[in-house]
Amino acid sequence: MTDPHWLVRRALKVLQSDETPLYLFTLAAEEVDLVADVARIGRDEAGKLIGYQRPEKQKHVKQIQEYLDSESPVFPNGLILALPPEVKFKSSRGPGTSDGLAIAGTLEIPIALDDDGPRPAWIVDGQQRSLALARTKNRRLPVPVAGFVTQNLEVQREQFLRVNTVQPLPTGLVTELLPEISRVPSARMATRQLPSALVDMLNHDVDSPFRGLIRRASTATGEKKAAVVTDTSLVEAIRESIESPSGVLFPYRNIATGSTDTEGIRRVLIAYWGAVRQTFPEAWGKPATKSRLTGGVGIRAMGRLMDRVMTHVRDDDPDAQQQAAAELALVAEKCRWTGGVWEDLGLPWDDLQNTPRHISALSNYLVRTYLAERTGRR
């Protein structure tokens, strides 16, 4: 007799990888909630990233549920699950059980003992569908499932990023997950891996002027009001400086060996942005509606100014922040972060938008003003 706490389903074992077994099988709609749960992205008490899934989209879930509740739904959109190592696969007997690509058999999956108990599997793709399936009146609707066996969170996150390429994930969610995996799904994503890790450092380092100010996908609801800096803008500002040969952070990477002086980069970022906070205290830490400095356009433009300013400052100098502040003083009087009109640009402070055109215009204005003032000071 089958153990009542195990779900047994006919399945195919797909012969792709010995390290990560892959199974194709079917669950009834009501069984999905017994087997799998959603790994919501967040932070634990120590600040370590947990999970990887975006928040529930209630409108989307409701639309799926309404279709599932109709008379004859056709639901080919399967789920992808990360199954626990405890699953058991038994191949069927006979000469026709394998065609060299897959093996037919039965899969035994542990299920939750009660409503509040932990689920053995995690949903890697299809969280909105799974929520709708849990609520549909069609309780026995068959649902196609692909399940791979792993408890390795990095593997789950990697697969999560790979399967969500047709309908792009929110950029902030992707960038926050990238430092947590070693095999990045694409070259484009790889360029954001180090900058994202540095942004995470800036958000938690006790010496960072950005501490607690950066909004990430994992930011708790109660902390979002104070998190006024969008992580994607800061990631992009750092990425530009690291990737461009003219960027001040470019020399900290050894392309030949693949190594990076992250401590040196940390010193540059903390010194420079600490000087920004010191120079513009009235504009720091405010939402973009009250200050364009901490909005996307300000972060990106000041990031480009960093490449000019910090070439004149030694990152290992104990007085680096004060030196950077002295350099920023050259442009401080021309800045209109919280009121007034930007000279030459002819734009009121709150007309600046986080668009490529305005980012370029503001960046060029700040760099041009800085170089002119610095040349005139000699």
Q: Which residues of the chain have pLDDT under 70?
A: 1-4, 39-57, 112-118, 152-191, 377-378
Nearest to 149 by CA among 52, 84, 78: 84
Q: What pLDDT, on the 0 to 100 scale, is given for residue 220?
A: 81
3-state secondary structure the chain: CCCCCEEEEEEEEECCCCCCCEEEEEEEHHHHHHHEEECECEECCCCCEECCECCCCHHHHHHHHHHHCCCCCCCCCCEEEEECCCCEEEECCCCCCECCCEEEEEEEEECCCCCCCCCCEEEEECHHHHHHHHHCCCCCCEEEEEEEECCCHHHHHHHHHHHCCCCCCCHHHHHHHHHHCCCCCCHHHHCCHHHHHHHHHHHHCCCCCCCCCEECCCCCHHHCCCCCEEHHHHHHHHHHHHHCCCCCCHHHEECCCCEECHHHHHHHHHHHHHHHHHHCCCCCCCCCCCCCCCCHHHHHHHHHHHHHHHHHCCCCCCCHHHHHHHHHHHHHCCCCCCCCEECCCCEEHHHCCCCHHHHHHHHHHHHHHHHHHHHHHC
Task: Kindly report the length of the chain.
Answer: 378
C-alpha to C-alpha distances, 11 to 23, 108, 186, 367, nearest whole angstrom: 6, 9, 31, 63
Q: What pLDDT, on the 0 to 100 scale, is given for residue 117?
A: 61
Residue 328 CA to its chain's centroid (Å): 31
C-alpha to C-alpha distances, 58 to 55, 62, 65, 290, nearest whole angstrom: 9, 6, 10, 31
Other beta carbons within 10 angstroms of residue 356's beta carbon come to 10
- 80-82-86 Cα angle (round to 5): 135
List pLDDT tens digits, range 125-140: 777 888 888 889 999 9
Residue 132 and residue 61: Cα distance in Å, rounded? Answer: 5
Q: What pLDDT, on the 0 to 100 scale, is given for residue 78?
A: 83
Q: Which two tokens stand for residue 106?
A: 């039965």
Q: Which two tokens stand for residue 368?
A: 């041009």
Q: What pLDDT, on the 0 to 100 scale, is given for residue 50?
A: 44
Residue 35 near residue 7 (C-beta atoms within 8 A): yes
Residue 366 and residue 342: Cα distance in Å, rounded? Answer: 10
Q: What pLDDT, on the 0 to 100 scale, is given for residue 197?
A: 87
Q: Which two tokens stand for residue 355?
A: 């668009």
List pLDDT tens digits, range 329-376: 999 999 999 999 998 899 999 999 999 999 999 999 999 999 999 987
Residue 107 near residue 8 (C-beta atoms within 8 A): yes
Q: What pLDDT, on the 0 to 100 scale, is given for residue 293?
A: 97
Q: What pLDDT, on the 0 to 100 scale, is given for residue 350?
A: 95
Q: What pLDDT, on the 0 to 100 scale, is given for residue 271?
A: 97
